[in-house]
Structure 1
Amino acid sequence: MNHILNISAYKFVPLPDAAALRERLHEQALALALKGTVLLAEEGINLFLAGPAEAVRGFVAQLRQDPRFTDLQPKESWSAEQPFRRMRVKLKREIIRMDHPTIRPDSSHPEGRAPAVDAATVRRWLGQGHDDAGRPVVTLDTRNAFEVDHGTFEGAIDWRIAKFTEFPQALLAHKDELMDKTVVSFCTGGIRCEKAAIFMREAGLEHVWQLEGGILKYFEETDGAHYQGRCFVFDEREALDKELRAAA
């Protein structure tokens, strides 16, 4: 029986008090016997947690008492076993490393975010082969090569990067190939494709979107059409199918 609730969520929002926040969140997570990882940086929060549903949702409720996190919307999946071995809350320079400090999304200001497109719209665009303006649509996988090997969208662009810090250079090398297309960047949960979409806009690509909530939200809100294989996740489940289930 799947009785362990797994959540993932992120938010780009200024956290000048990240160090103090680390202590508080660590204490709260331990008190609820949760396991997983919470990353904090001045640019925001990125978390992966698992435990009994009441405990996990209790942690989220406590987190939302902070006005900066009231709109946090975790993606949920279930497992029979705890997929994490311990609880870690870590301070980082970036919650997802890109090594481009000027790329600083800020969810508290809409103009600071990359334009997003929801899962249902992406499914429809891929089915018809073009966006609502008739422009050809391509999907761009911003994940590392070993993640892509578990599964990706049909025909997705994959530059075989080994780490996300390689994405900017790869984009600049291939930018001209994307100029006349609508580009939907995607990743596991949305965090990488958010930074990627902003970088692409700054590089001069006009018709760029991020898949809101990433692959996991696409699985949650659609039937997973146009996606082949599974979605790699960074815990002991390894990869999830379109029903958000781990391999048997």
Structure 2
Amino acid sequence: MYHVLLYYCYTPLAHPEQFRDEHHRLCLSLDLRGRIIVAGEGLNGTVSGTVENCAAYMAAVKADPRFEALEFKIEEAPAHTFQKLHVRVKPEIVHVDLPHIKPYERTGTHLSPAEFKAMKDRDDVVIVDVRSDYEYNLGRFKNAVTLDIENFREFPERVERLQEFRDKKILTYCTGGIKCEKASAFLLEQGFENVYQLHGGIIKYGLEAGGEDFDGKCYVFDGRVAVDVNSVNPTIISECHHCHTPSDRMVNCANPHCNAHLPLCEACAGQLQGACSEACAEHPDKRPYDGTGTYPKISNHYNPAQGLASYKAS
């Protein structure tokens, strides 16, 4: 049995490059795989590993006083959900080009899943999805306001669309909570007064509140692609890109020059051999379709220590 850990923590890191090296070595020692971002503003990661190694990793991270407030969202998986390990230093732990926003100083009021569930249907509340379009098209809360963004860095320029809700309580949500930290802080900076966020995001809401009233599936950034979160009143809201029948089966177009990430039902995927259109199906560079619609990078002879060596040599 394996665990998948989703986590983040906004906290000042004085020497992110040094921390990155140390953290990479820790992950190597525990055979963890995944994507971890280190920045001067904190730590963000999703990793997979055995139950025992994940427990050791969580204990090591929490032993650092800087990450005392960090919370892990833990899900089960039959094997690694990542092919490789990447630990990188970047300007922000979630890219939105708002480096002056410091969520560890000021952010929206955190709501537990139970508190979010109790508030979300009130007349004086509006729920705002701060994720990208391909995420909320697959799954979102009932009556949520979406902002038509392809990437989170577009969020600041979309805030104008929320002006009509200034007299309401704004409840933001995202996958694991990290985007809401900056989104809610930015809303406060823009003069919105009653700003809240779902602590732990959709994943924690599914684990602790049964995912009630979250329609569809939750897009995740690992090999699983999409996960169920609603065990109370589940439904499908996405439709096949080709035939428009209800489908929450996410694939990457088999044409690598397109590589669109979209729902494609099993029948259409078989007919088009994993492509999103007839044109992509006929492309000479189309990848072979194995029935999954995912194309992880080949990891034969993968050496996770190579990333550390490459980083130190650059």
Does the Cα contact within 8 Å between 2:9 and 2:69 map onto a contact in 1? Answer: no
Unpaired segments of 5 or more residues in structure 2? 232-248, 250-291, 293-314
Aligned counterpart for 1:22 among listed residues 20, 23, 26: 20
CA distance in 2, matches of 1:137, 1:218: 18
Kindly report the root-mean-square deviation, in angstroms, between the aligned alpha carbons of the 2 structures. 1.8
Deviation >2 Å, runs of 4+: 111-114
Instruction: Work out the CA distance in 1 between the residues paired with 2:18 and 2:230.
Output: 38
Provide the TM-score with structure 1 as the length reference: 0.90
Matches within 5 A, 1:90-105: 90-105=88-103
Mapped partners of 2:164, 2:228: distance in 1: 31
Aligned match of 1:197: 184
Pairing 1:120–2:91 present:
no
Equivalent of 2:149 in 121, 145, 161 = 161
2:129 is the counterpart of 1:141: yes
> 1:71, 1:124 → 2: CA distance?
24
Q: Which residue of 2 aligns with 1:222?
A: 209
User: Secondary structure of the residue that 2:87 maps to in structure 1?
Assistant: strand
Quick check: 1:5 aligned with 2:9? no
Residue correspondences, number: 234
Larger Rg: 2
> How big is the shift at 1:114?
2.5
Distance 1:105 1:204 in 2: 16
The one-letter code of the counterpart of 1:21 is: F
Higher relative contact order (CA 8 A, sep 6+): 1
Equivalent residue of 1:234, what SS? coil
CA contact (8 A) 1:175 1:205 kept: no
The answer on whether the counterparts of 2:140 and 2:216 sit within 8 Å (CA) in structure 1 is yes
Listed one character per residue, the Cα deviations across residues 6-39 of structure 1 (whole Å, up to 9, x for unaligned) are: 0011000000111111111111111111101111
Match of 1:240 in 2: 227
CA distance in 2: counterparts of 1:177 and 1:112, whole angstroms: 23
Deviation at 1:243, TM superposition (A): 6.1
CA shift at 1:81, angstroms?
Answer: 2.4
Q: Which amino acid is the alignment partner of residue 169 of structure 1? A: E
Q: Matched residue of 1:228: which SS?
A: strand
2:11 and 2:72 map into 1 onto residues whose CA distance is: 16
CA distance in 2 between partners of 1:117 and 1:228 (Å): 20
What's the TM-score once normalised by structure 2's chain length? 0.71
The answer on whether the counterparts of 1:13 and 1:44 sit within 8 Å (CA) in structure 2 is yes
Preserved contact between residue 140 and residue 186 of structure 1 (Cα < 8 Å): yes
d(CA) in 1 for partners of 2:58, 2:141: 31
Greater mean deviation of Cα atoms: 34-43 or 113-122: 113-122
**CA–CA distance in 1 between the matches of 2:147 and 2:49?**
36
Which secondary structure does the structure 1 equivalent of 2:44 belong to? strand
2:221 maps to amino acid = F
Shift of 1:66: 1.4
Q: CA deviation at 1:184?
A: 0.4
